[in-house]
Amino acid sequence: MPLGTLRATAHHAGARSADVIVIGAGIIGAACARSLARSGLSVIVLERSAAASGTSAKGEGNLLVSDKGPGAELRLAQYAGSLWPSVVAELRTELGPDFPSLEYERKGGLVVATTDAGAAPLLAFAAGQRAAGVDALPVGIEEALELEPELNPAATAAVFYPDDAQVQPVAATEALLASARRSGATVHIDARVTGAIRSQLHPDTVTGVRTTAGEFHAPHVIVAAGPWSGEVAEALGVSLPVRPRRGMVLVTTRMPHRIFHKVYDGDYFGATQSSDAALQTSSVVESTAAGTVLIGSSREQIGFDERLRVEVLRGIAAKSLRLFPFLENASIMRTYGGFRPFMPDHLPVIGADHRAPGLWHASGHEGAGIGLSLATAEILAAQLLGTTPPTDAAPFSLARASLAPHLGSAA
């Protein structure tokens, strides 16, 4: 749709009307708001609590290709990886030196097999990734120990991924939102969506939303509410099979840097792709710029249950020692948990809702939303503006066959 046509369709003049409403002020919503506002559209962002207070505040800031097998998600991650350096530079220039650092670092990732049985699958997985264009470099144990001197020398195989990177997720979200505001976007906090406003002439068409802060109108409404997207979609009268998947992380006290890359066990990929609702733990360890060490990770589907479970923390801690035995003597300063937006086919939804014209989705990225945010925003903005997406968007369509059993009709 031409830009002029889009702008002409926005009505109900005033601060509660725009060309686009984005529901969710996490990193996906922030990235979408920035891309759309910089394209010349007026944008309203609605957030149920505070900006960057949900999943984006509870993650490690992973920008990974190493944990993705050949296919649509890997291609999306490769495209996303190409965007981050330039966007970080743009934000630094735009927001100035007083804005907090995004702590973007292309530190590289080291994936390690800790058992004899895990060595061959890890190397085979890396070979498949290389065929798909990933820089996946098998390294001997001696070379792995040069990269990570504290690594357990009993490791049986290792693969180095120089393109893996990291960003501080809250800082990145806040920077993207600040940039969107500079392009005219407005952000409303404490505005929980309670229902859809629909066209009187075309009852399936969404033309705005009702919230606890009042009504907002726009010809395009984007659901980017992370693990709460299913609830938001239901309030808007459609089904969306996004479910919360709980995860927890341990944080050590500060120490001299003894871990220099993102390091994880080869069984991590299997955990990310599993649909099992039961508890799964796998070892992911990295240092932060502040000198703490983040130790993850866990996955379980227990709804939005936020209770601390000692058995989960115990499982995470035990597996981390397989990678770095020295952590046995580390002091844990705190723990935190969050919810990933899980999809039954392990792919995000990016694009229009075929059941409800005017409704769009950008959700279901599970644990990869930080890294995939910029690419998601570019795809969605291109679709909404009627231009060609920068990478194939078809695998992320809500109308894909793998989601058919999970979708209902518009209310």
Total-model pTM: 0.93
Amino acid at 398: L
| Cis peptide preceding 35, ω within 30 of 0 | no
Q: What average pLDDT score do residues 289-294 get? A: 92
What fold does the segment set 109-160+243-339 form as a domain? D-Amino Acid Oxidase; Chain A, domain 2 (3.30.9)
- Which residues, other chains included, contact 357 with Cβ-Cβ below 8 Å and sequence gap of 6+? 202, 204, 205, 206
The pLDDT value given to residue 15: 63
Question: From residue 111, how far is each of 76, 127, 269 by CA, in Å?
Answer: 21, 13, 10
- Which residues, other chains included, contact 259 with Cβ-Cβ below 8 Å and sequence gap of 6+? 148, 150, 285, 286, 287, 293, 324
The reply to whether CATH 3.50.50.60 applies to domain 16-104+163-242+343-411 is yes
The pLDDT value given to residue 59: 83
What tokens does 160 get? 């180095």
* DSSP code per residue over 290-320: TS-EEEEEEEB-BTB-----HHHHHHHHHHH
Longest dimension (CA), the chain: 70
Please identify which residue in the block is written with the tokens 């066209």: 199
Per-residue pLDDT of 164-211, as tens digits, reads: 999 999 999 999 999 999 999 999 999 999 999 999 999 999 999 999
The pLDDT value given to residue 269: 63
* 245 vs 97, more confident: 245
d(CA 110, CA 148): 9
Q: Are 172 and 158 in contact (CB under 8 A)?
A: no
Please identify which residue in the block is written with the tokens 């919230």: 211
The pLDDT value given to residue 4: 40
Domain 16-104+163-242+343-411 matches domain 109-160+243-339 at the CATH topology level: no
Torsion 65-70-74-75 (CA) sign: positive
* DSSP code per residue over 308-351: --HHHHHHHHHHHHHH-GGGGGPPEEEEEEEEEEE-TTS--EEE
Average per-residue pLDDT in the chain? 92
DSSP-derived 3-state class of residue 115: coil
Q: Give me the residue spans of the domains in the chain.
A: 16-104+163-242+343-411, 109-160+243-339
The pLDDT value given to residue 219: 98
DSSP-derived 3-state class of residue 196: strand
Per-residue pLDDT of 366-404, as tens digits, reads: 999 999 999 999 999 999 999 999 999 999 999 999 999
